[in-house]
Homo-oligomer: A and B are copies of this chain.
Amino acid sequence: MNVQQSIPPLPVIAVVGATGAVGIEIINCLESRDVPVGELRLLASARSAGQHLPFRGSDVLVQELTERSFDGCNIVFFSAGASVSRKYAPLAVAAGAVVVDNSSAFRMDPNVPLIVPEANGGTIAPHAGIIANPNCVAAIATTALAPLQRCWAITRLNMVTYQSASGAGAAAMDELRQATAAAVNEEPFEQQIMPHPMAFNLFSHNAEIDPETGYNGEETKVIAETRRILGLPRLPVGITCVRVPVLRAHSIALSVRFDGFVSPESVRDKLSNAPGVRVVDDIENNHFPMPCEASGIEDVLVGRIRTDLIDPTGQTIAMFISGDQLLKGAALNAVQIAENLLAQQVTSQAA
């Protein structure tokens, strides 16, 4: 199928995985951003069905996800893992909905646009009913990189991450809190969710590693998705993904090489006017992006903008960024994609 589904002005919107960390933030974003919603349908596994979640002053019942859940839906957010998306997203499309998929299931499918609105929102159409929401690191990084790429060609990229527990879901956030409470009370604690202790510790990202390359699945995803979002399929990307004891914001040390000299001042200037970006680069007060200030806000914080001394030609800029993993790294970006779909609908109906 290769059609643009028609979306009414007050759409029926469903959220699959509504009770998860990202699902709850999708509901919050729909509310806080005043997205027009005719009906909100909350879907989850049988285990989570029966709960109620607040939305615009009402309590909405969470229903069990079934093959018939999508009747009458216009937009369906999926945030319940790749296998649920693979099984149910085609059913949602067949029922006439547009899917915004937060899983990795379709991100590298050439028929599925992979969208960060600030970076490549213009490529959302044509689509075949599914729009993919990127990996959190790729979404946060490209929000800061795209405004630069519009001015100067990026020729090399290095990313070293400080990734929060939220990337592994609400259970991992709980485990970080519990493990840390046990540590400060000098009590024993046995982790169940993460493979390694989280309290006052950090570790290489727990995604499976390709023994051929030595890169883990998270790193491989970030490389492929960053290249795809930036439209630079051959960009050399170095990456190290690390989990740190932080609750819900990812930070990334970025090093970006351009095809000519670029000054830190010009980068700071471009980013100061970029959507979705807030420059926090106060050298005098040693105040730069921090997870505690990035958490709960929509903008990606960018600072430590300086010439990277690794490159004596002055063509490389180093930066440090922090972004809310659940917002720009997941729910907010998904809701922004839906807003783009709604806006295009308005445009095409006006035309």
A202-B291, A290-B203 known; A309 vs B239 contact (CB < 8 Å): yes
Q: Can you list 14 A-B contacts with CB-CB less than 8 angstroms, sorted by A residue number?
A: A157-B310, A180-B180, A180-B184, A184-B184, A197-B290, A200-B245, A200-B247, A206-B286, A214-B305, A214-B307, A237-B309, A237-B310, A238-B318, A244-B244
A70 within 8 A of B: no
Which among A213, A291, A292 has the greatest number of chain B C-beta atoms within 10 A?
A: A292
Least Cβ distance of A264 to chain B in Å?
6
A48 within 8 A of B: no
Q: How large is the interface on A (under 10, 10 to 19, 20 to 34, 35 or more residues)?
A: 35 or more
A200-B246, A201-B246 known; A208 vs B310 contact (CB < 8 Å): no
- A204-219 residues with Cβ-Cβ distance < 8 A to B are 204, 206, 208-209, 211, 213-216
A288 within 8 A of B: yes
| Alpha-carbon gap, A347 to B201, bound state (A) | 43
**Taking chain A's interface residues, is the majority helix, strand, or loop, or is none over half, making it mixed?**
mixed
Least Cβ distance of A123 to chain B in Å?
25
| Alpha-carbon gap, A183 to B195, bound state (A) | 24
Residue in B213, B251, B283, B316 whose beta carbon sits within 8 Å of that of A306 in the complex: B213
User: Which of chain B's residues have a CB closer than 8 A to the CB of A59?
Assistant: none
Proximity string of chain A (244-263) to chain B, C-beta cutoff 8 Å, 1 when within and 0 when not: 11110001010100000000
Q: Is the CB of A214 within 8 A of B253?
A: no
Q: Is the CB of A201 within 8 A of B255?
A: no
User: Which of chain B's residues have a CB closer than 8 A to the CB of A223?
Assistant: 309
A201-B291, A245-B246, A246-B202 known; A156 vs B310 contact (CB < 8 Å): yes
